[in-house]
Amino acid sequence: MKLSKKKKNKQTVFCFNVQHVLPKIFPRKPRDFSLPNSSWGKEMMELYNHYNRLTADQSVYLCCVSSGGAYLSKIIQSKARLFTRNIRDPGAAFEYVLFFRQDKLKCVCIFQAGHLLEGPPGHVHGGAIATMIDTVTGTHASLLSAPVMTANLNVNYRSPIPLGSTVLIESILDKEDGRKMYISCRVTSTDGSKLHTEATGNCPQPGESSEGPSHL
Ligand SMILES: CCCCCCCCCCCCCCCC(=O)SCCNC(=O)CCNC(=O)[C@H](O)C(C)(C)COP(=O)(O)OP(=O)(O)OC[C@H]1O[C@@H](n2cnc3c(N)ncnc32)[C@H](O)[C@@H]1OP(=O)(O)O
C-alpha cells in the first residue's frame, strides 16, 4: 500500500497506547486479540505495520473476556465475552486493531471482515458493520472521558464491503457537550478512494441514575 505524502504527515500523530489504560479496567492480563495472526492478509499486515511504526510501543488493544455486570448470574458472568472477540477461529469474524492519535481526537481501526460475517452474498452484513462502528465510536468516546454507552447511532450504507476484505474505520470527535460526545465515523477502502459507510453517534457518559457500562 502506497501512502501519499500528505496522508503520511497526517498519520504520524497516531501514537496513543491503549494498553496503558487497560489494567485499570481489566484486572487479569487479557489475551491481546489485536496482535497479528496467521489469518491477517497482506493489506491488514501492511497497515498494521504502518500504524505500529508510528507508535513508541505496540498500540494495540483488545481482550475477549468481559468482567460482566453484578446483576448477572454467576454462570452468565463467567461466560460473558466481548461480542467482537468471542470467536476463537482466527480470521473467521472480526479481525481488527485500533490506533488513537495522542490527543485522542481521531481514531483509526483496521478491520478485516471474516467469512462468518456474511450478509448479502459475498458481502459483509450491515449489522456487523454497525457493530464495528459502534465499537470504534464507543471505545473512542470512552478513551476521551470515561466509559460510555451508545445512546444514538445513525448509519448510512453507501457501498457494500466484500467479504474477506480489509477496510479502514476512522472516527473523529465532532463535538463535546457536557456528558455527551458526538463522534462521526467513515468506513472506506484502505486507500480511502471508496466510501463504504458513514455514521454519527452520540455516546453520553451514563448519568448517576442510569445502569451504566458496568462491564468496562
Ligand atoms: C476508559 C477507556 C476504555 C477503553 C476501552 C473500552 C473497551 C470497550 C470496548 C467495547 C466498546 C464497545 C462499545 C459498545 C457501546 C455499546 O454498544 S453500548 C450498548 C448499547 N447502548 C445501550 O444499551 C444504551 C441504553 N441506554 C441507556 O442506558 C441510557 O439511555 C443512556 C444512553 C446511558 C443515557 O441515560 P442517562 O445517563 O440517564 O442520560 P439522559 O439524562 O437520559 O441523557 C443524557 C443526554 O443524552 C441525550 N440522549 C439520551 N438518549 C439519546 C438518544 N437516543 N439520542 C440522542 N440523545 C440522547 C439526552 O437528551 C441527554 O442530553 P442533555 O439533556 O444532557 O442535553
**Which residue's alpha carbon is at the smallest distance from atom 62 of ligand 1?**
180
> pLDDT at position 72, please?
74
Mark whether 89 is an active-site residue. no
| Separation of CA 216 and ligand 1 centre (Å) | 13
Phi, psi at 115, each rounded to 5°:
-65, -20
Tens of pLDDT, residue by residue, the chain (216 residues): 444 444 444 433 343 444 444 445 555 565 678 889 999 999 999 999 988 887 644 444 544 555 566 677 878 777 788 899 888 899 999 999 988 877 778 999 999 999 999 999 999 999 999 999 999 999 999 888 888 899 999 999 999 999 999 999 999 999 999 999 999 999 999 999 999 999 999 999 888 777 655 444
Which one-letter DSSP state was computed for residue 175? Answer: E
| Separation of CA 77 and ligand 1 centre (Å) | 22
The pLDDT tens digits for 62-75 are: 445 555 666 778 78
**In the block, which residue shows the cell 465510536?**
137
> pLDDT at position 90, please?
92
- Among 20, 24, 144, 149, the mutation site with the greatest number of ligand 1 atoms within 8 A of its Cβ is 149
pTM value?
0.85
Q: In this structure, which topology does domain 5-202 adopt according to CATH?
A: Thiol Ester Dehydrase; Chain A (3.10.129)
Amino acid at 176: E
- Rounded to an integer, what distance in angstroms lies between the CA atom of residue 120 and that of residue 100? 31
Interface pTM, i.e. ipTM = 0.90
Which atom of ligand 1 is least distant from the CA of 146? 1
| Separation of CA 43 and ligand 1 centre (Å) | 34
- Write b or e for each residue in 169-202: b if 16 or more Cβ atoms lie within 10 A of its Cβ, otherwise e: bebebeeeeeebbbbbbbbbbbeeeeebbbbbbb
Query: What are the domain boundaries of the chain?
Result: 5-202
- Rounded to an integer, what distance in angstroms lies between the CA atom of residue 149 and that of residue 152? 9
**Apex 125 CA angle, 122 and 129, nearest 5:** 125
> pLDDT at position 66, please?
59
Q: Cell numbers of 186, please?
A: 467513515
